Structure 1
Amino acid sequence: MLDEAFAFLCEADRLKSVERASVLMDLSRPENSAEHSWHVALWAMVMGASDRAIAMILLHDLVEIDTGDQPIHLEHDVAGLALAEAEAARRLFSLAPEGGRLAALWRDFEGRADACAVVAKRMDHAQPIFQVLMAEDPLPDHVAIVRDNLGTGRAARFETEWPEGWAAAQALLAGGALPGGDLAQRLAFLAEADALKRVLRANRLLDGSRRENSAEHSWHLALYALVLGGLAGPGVDVGRVIRMLLIHDLVEIDVGDVPLHSAGGQAHGSAAVQAAEAAAARRIFGLLPEAQGRAMLDLWREFEAVATPDAVFAKALDRCQPAVQNLRSGGAGWVEYAVTLAHVEGRVGPWVRAGSPALWEWLYRGLRGHFDG
């Protein structure tokens, strides 16, 4: 079962290499579909969506591994694209042990089958709009696409489906400021979160082409939780674990990634790093409306403390995913830090074993094969 689960999860890594027509808010590069999926899931979390809607979002763009991104301003063969995406879904979800469950979520999202799917679609369509409109110096052609989208495109429905969001977008299009209130604070937080896409980590994509960033890492971890949730211990709420993982690395916007195998005064887990991360958490979650910001800060602190069943399982996945990335990419990140099997056993093993003994047993077999081979 775990071999199949990781075949799917490792295939999903390819979504990090699918470029979209949209760009990061600092205009530095195109956004990719994995970090987009993370950002949309965070949007859903902030806007009060259900666990089911968030699960749909984690999966919704996986078909682009085979079909690529389809920019909304270009002409498409709608029927042909639908067939190609359905075939991609069959291929990809057949890799997973519970592929039928995942495929059903994807189909429900595509068909707007229920209220959760409607919300998930709304988040998927809203995120690119505000990513353009809230950039410091948005590209004129991207602004024109947004204007058309809100006027006669798929987002025109926001005027009746989500009037508050439609009004906020229209205000920004007109060169004005966002109306005050909770929505403006949530949008400010979500715009700030875009910076996590620029934080580079020590490990690399599975194809070795570049370093992974912390936003796509957070998406991949949430997908891990969705796929591996059956390994969690009694009392674990997998939906809540996913929410933890979506926000767990936001502090890196201020602090940067601190590699697990780093050393010295600024090493992973040092007092200096913990203090810096706590200050970053207070600043970033403080952008939200007060009650919501406090709740997210508490969730982040729970993850850091690793004292509840949800946090223990979340931490296990957070330790497991980078090890798998290294195993499947030839250990490139480990070579840089002169990592040995003993290092991984000591820094990864206890956390993964605590969250899921079966997961550690599977991972340890791979580690022995890599380091002893």
Structure 2
Amino acid sequence: MTDLTRQFAFLDEADKLKSVIRSNCLIDLSRQENSAEHSWHLALFALVLAPDAGPEVDINKAILMLLLHDIVEIDAGDHPIHETHDWAQVAANEQRAADRIYGLLPEKTGTYFRETWAEFEARETPTARFAKMLDHIQPVFQTVAPQAPINWHRDIAKETLSTGRASWLREAWPDLWRYANAMTQDTLTDTQKSSDTGKRLAFLLEADQLKTVLRATPISDNSRRENSGEHSWHIALYAPVLADQAGQGVDIHRVTQMLLLHDLVEIDAGDAPIHGDYDPAEQEAKEQAAADRLFGLLPEPQAQNLRALWDEFEAAETPDAIFGKSIDRVQPLLQNMAAGGGSWKDYNVTMDQIDSRVGHKVARGAPDVWNFIRQRTKAWFDVQS
């Protein structure tokens, strides 16, 4: 079995995390959240709140921890904190899940991911503590952010902050704890809102809307269309998994950050399917306006820095952006094949169109990946003809 076979076996398996449902809701209260989009949002929290992390925290590793941390739920399931569980049994189930799922990868990558997940769970290093703090408090923000939060959800958030699993942030991260507590009590001041922390949280809570933007591509089991939040998680995970396929000079950490951010503009501009009928100039204008608004929520110079990272990805001229764009084009191919054609059937897509619209973009930054994926794609189309 080749490394690429094992890498894509893992990435295909990871798609199942999009079907693991959590107890908390999206901010618009339209539905419950799934663990894939939750993992994306947490990784974005790490990137945006990095200025508060301290010099001893490795932000790039914290992002990887949060991309990986809930993958074990594919086998072990989610366990809401307000319910009673046998936590020893949960831990044993998650250990078995980690062995199986990370064991799908090539040995070196699988071992590193497994160790990174274990470090997160142990919460003994500064990086793991930073990531755990976000995992413990982010659901509080999401729960109390709606204009009219569900009362019993708000009660759980209050308990989580006062005596529950996020209470340790009162000492470990007092500024963030006070902000969350003020939100739960409806006592947030204008001074807090206008602070750097307030601006960062405004951006992060606005980002929740990406979970409601639907793409043309279905998830692999073809049960529904994928949303852009869970897509961003999956694509951000692609970067470290396929790091060995990156060209010379590619910084895989910057690629991962680009992919966390790359679809945020769809909150305002919507998704534009590659095989769909739309005006590219009009879509670009919408996305530029969206980038102005969304990144403008952040404090300077962070707003400028993250906007520049998004602009670099869109331009696709640097080694990092070229590789990021390449792997962004791969994931929909695999999902459409797994779903029996997916959006290809909706748009009457042919193999020639795949080659012309997708192939050269993938081959530009990851030629071996394209050779591998094209064989699978061509075989699928051959069966259909």
TM class by smaller structure: over 0.9
2:309 is the alignment partner of 1:299:
yes
CA separation in 2, counterparts of 1:116 and 1:230? 24
CA separation in 2, counterparts of 1:72 and 1:325? 32
**Alignment match, 1:245:** 259
Deviation at 1:177, TM superposition (A): 2.1
For structure 2, which runs of at least 5 residues remain unmatched after alignment?
54-58
Aligned residue pairs, count: 369
Deviation at 1:290, TM superposition (A): 2.1
CA separation in 2, counterparts of 1:71 and 1:332? 33
CA separation in 1, counterparts of 2:146 and 2:320? 35
Mapping for residues 149-188 of structure 1, pairs under 5 Å: 149-178=160-189, 179=192, 180-188=194-202
CA separation in 1, counterparts of 2:230 and 2:300? 27
Deviation at 1:78, TM superposition (A): 1.3
2:324 is the alignment partner of 1:324:
no
**Alignment match, 2:91:** 82
Which moved further from structure 2: 65-74 or 173-182? 173-182
**Alignment match, 2:67:** 58
Mapping for residues 43-54 of structure 1, pairs under 5 Å: 43-48=45-50, 50-54=59-63
CA separation in 2, counterparts of 1:360 and 1:33? 29
Which moved further from structure 2: 115-124 or 208-217? 115-124
2:33 is the alignment partner of 1:22:
no
SS in 2 for 1:12: helix
Aligned partner letter, 2:364: A
CA separation in 2, counterparts of 1:193 and 1:304? 19
Deviation at 1:334, TM superposition (A): 0.4
For residues 32-73 of structure 1, the C-alpha deviation after alignment (integer angstroms, 9 at most, x for no partner) is: 000000000000000016100000100000011111110011
Aligned partner letter, 1:166: W
CA separation in 2, counterparts of 1:103 and 1:34? 18
TM-score by length of 2: 0.94
CA separation in 2, counterparts of 1:105 and 1:347? 36
Aligned partner letter, 1:11: E
Runs of 4+ in 1 over 2 A off after TM superposition: none
Among 138, 141, 165, the residue aligned to 1:130 = 141
Mapping for residues 268-283 of structure 1, pairs under 5 Å: 270-283=280-293
CA separation in 1, counterparts of 2:228 and 2:71? 18
CA separation in 1, counterparts of 2:101 and 2:124? 21
CA separation in 1, counterparts of 2:141 and 2:322? 35
CA separation in 1, counterparts of 2:155 and 2:185? 12
**Alignment match, 1:42:** 44
Contact 2:17 2:36 in 1 (8 A): yes
For residues 113-148 of structure 1, the C-alpha deviation after alignment (integer angstroms, 9 at most, x for no partner) is: 311111111111121010012222111111100111
Among 10, 13, 16, the residue aligned to 2:15 = 13
CA separation in 2, counterparts of 1:275 and 1:123? 34
Deviation at 1:198, TM superposition (A): 0.2
Among 337, 345, 359, the residue aligned to 2:347 = 337
Aligned partner letter, 2:258: M
SS in 2 for 1:236: coil
**Alignment match, 2:362:** 352
Aligned partner letter, 1:7: A
For residues 237-276 of structure 1, the C-alpha deviation after alignment (integer angstroms, 9 at most, x for no partner) is: 111100000000000000111100112xx24xx1111111
Aligned partner letter, 1:226: P
- C-alpha RMSD of the superposition: 0.9
Aligned partner letter, 2:267: I
SS in 2 for 1:156: coil
Aligned partner letter, 1:30: Q
Percent same amino acid at aligned positions? Answer: 50
2:233 is the alignment partner of 1:222:
no
